[in-house]
Amino acid sequence: MRTLGSWIAHDLRARVWSLLALAAAVMIGVAAIMMGAAGTARSRSVIERTDRAVNSATVIAVPNLPGFDWRPVAELPEVERLVNFAVFYFEVAEVGRMVGGFPPVGESYQDQMERPVVLEGRMADQDAADEVTIDPAIHREGIDVGDTLHLHLVDWVSGSNAATDVQVRVVGITKDAFFTWEVQPTAAFYERYRNYIGGDEALINAIAMLKDGDASVPDFERHLAEIAGQPIDVFSQAESAAAMEQTIGLETTALGALTLAVAFEAILVFSQVVIRVAQRSRSDVEVMRLLGARRSQRAVALGAAPAAACTLGISLAPVAAWFGSDVFPIGLGRQLEPSPGRMFDISVLSSTAVLIWLVTVGII
């Protein structure tokens, strides 16, 4: 046994650089497999995690009727919570075009439903008319937290068509929830500039959380039509989520298939490399046979060095996989991801590491 240990130690020292190269190759290959597996799991759960983070409303109701009275709607038995928003477009001088930014009307909404995911900065104070948040799309156009924006508004209520330029400050970058438009004003902004948004004839629509969720949608649609005296467009968030789920499902399937292909190719390549590394020691192991080493001892000596290199590579792979995990999810899932950046999915990474290690042991 002492001879076996001495031989293994000598073999490791003699081939340290080639074994480190093998360990690095194993780490890269296994990390790619882990990234694909973890990315697939992350993409598959993105809708559920986003809904949990945002606490999405059940429906969006859009009568688009000037001066529509929402008070009877808020008192419907199936309505748990209702928040109004004003349909509003304005020109932003810094981007040179019209953008949409539908300010909430009335009480704050952020502690109950449609809570935006804050990517940078903070949420706007709903009592501050000069604070706004922006979405990632307009951020990519060069607008950032701390910037001052100039909004061009026109007073079409008084008949004067008087225009004014309003300065607002960007305090955060948000996404995923309803109130995360390109430039998102506050409830105080609506109150201060009502004449520029339509005054009493403004188009006020609503998002609503229903007590029984989607099961309450038919009752809500019927009651809303009765109050309005005409059919009203009601958009179910669940239907929108189902459509997005289908798209993400296709993306996840493609990513999973690619991961399996990479895993299969990696196993073929690694098996050949490991076998060649082990065969280089075969002649030296024959010396151990002449010294009286048993067959089991010779087998251990033959596989010890590649096993050690593969174990080192597999052990480091989760760190490399975590480092590259910020490229996932992909496609639509990436737009919805409520926690963008690196993610360490210990269950997926550990199970993948164990599975690959068992396959490696089988090869050796």
Tokens 């010294």 locate to: 291
C-alpha–C-alpha distance, residues 277 and 306, integer Å:
7
Q: Does the residue 236 lie in any domain?
A: no
Per-residue confidence (pLDDT) for residue 110, from 0 to 100: 58
Q: Does the residue 122 lie in any domain?
A: yes
Q: Does the residue 353 lie in any domain?
A: yes
Same-domain pairing of 353 and 305: yes
Per-residue confidence (pLDDT) for residue 86, from 0 to 100: 93
Same-domain pairing of 75 and 42: no
Per-residue confidence (pLDDT) for residue 302, from 0 to 100: 60
Same-domain pairing of 74 and 215: yes
Residue of 218, 179, 189, 228 lying closest to 62 (CA atoms) = 228
Pairing of strands 131-134, 162-175: parallel
Same-domain pairing of 78 and 219: yes
Per-residue confidence (pLDDT) for residue 278, from 0 to 100: 59
Same-domain pairing of 252 and 223: no
The count of structural domains within the chain is: 2
Q: Helices (H), strands (E): how many in the chain? A: 12, 12
Q: Does the residue 210 lie in any domain?
A: yes
Same-domain pairing of 12 and 83: no
Same-domain pairing of 317 and 287: yes
How far is CA 346 from each of CA 43, 352, 356, rounded to the nearest angstrom? 16, 10, 15
Cis omega (within 30 of 0) on the bond before 329? Answer: yes
Per-residue confidence (pLDDT) for residue 52, from 0 to 100: 84
Per-residue confidence (pLDDT) for residue 285, from 0 to 100: 58
Q: Does the residue 57 lie in any domain?
A: no
Residue of 81, 46, 89 lying closest to 176 (CA atoms) = 46
Same-domain pairing of 216 and 274: no
C-alpha–C-alpha distance, residues 222 and 65, integer Å:
17
Q: Does the residue 58 lie in any domain?
A: no
Instruction: Out of 174, 198, 231, pick the residue that ends a domain.
Output: 231
Residue of 183, 191, 196, 195 lying closest to 131 (CA atoms) = 183
Instruction: Out of 205, 231, 257, pick the residue that ends a domain.
Output: 231
Same-domain pairing of 141 and 282: no
Same-domain pairing of 20 and 163: no
Instruction: Out of 231, 257, 272, pick the residue that ends a domain.
Output: 231
Same-domain pairing of 226 and 262: no
Domain that residue 225 falls in: 64-231
Q: Does the residue 320 lie in any domain?
A: yes
Instruction: pLDDT tens for the chain, 364 residues: list them.
Output: 455 556 666 566 657 777 788 888 888 888 888 888 888 888 888 888 888 888 889 999 999 999 899 999 999 999 999 999 999 888 999 998 888 888 999 875 556 788 898 999 999 999 999 999 999 999 999 999 999 999 998 776 655 566 788 999 999 999 988 888 899 999 999 999 988 888 888 899 999 999 999 999 999 999 999 999 999 999 998 888 888 888 888 988 888 888 888 888 777 777 776 666 656 555 555 655 555 555 555 555 566 677 778 888 888 888 888 988 888 888 888 888 888 888 888 877 777 777 776 766 665 5
Tokens 């360990």 locate to: 23
Q: How far apart are the first and last CA of the chain?
A: 21
Per-residue confidence (pLDDT) for residue 114, from 0 to 100: 87
Q: Does the residue 247 lie in any domain?
A: yes
| Exposed/middle/buried for residue 96 (C-beta within 10 Å: 0-12, 13-18, 19+) | exposed
Q: Are 90 and 152 in contact (CB under 8 A)?
A: yes
Same-domain pairing of 27 and 120: no
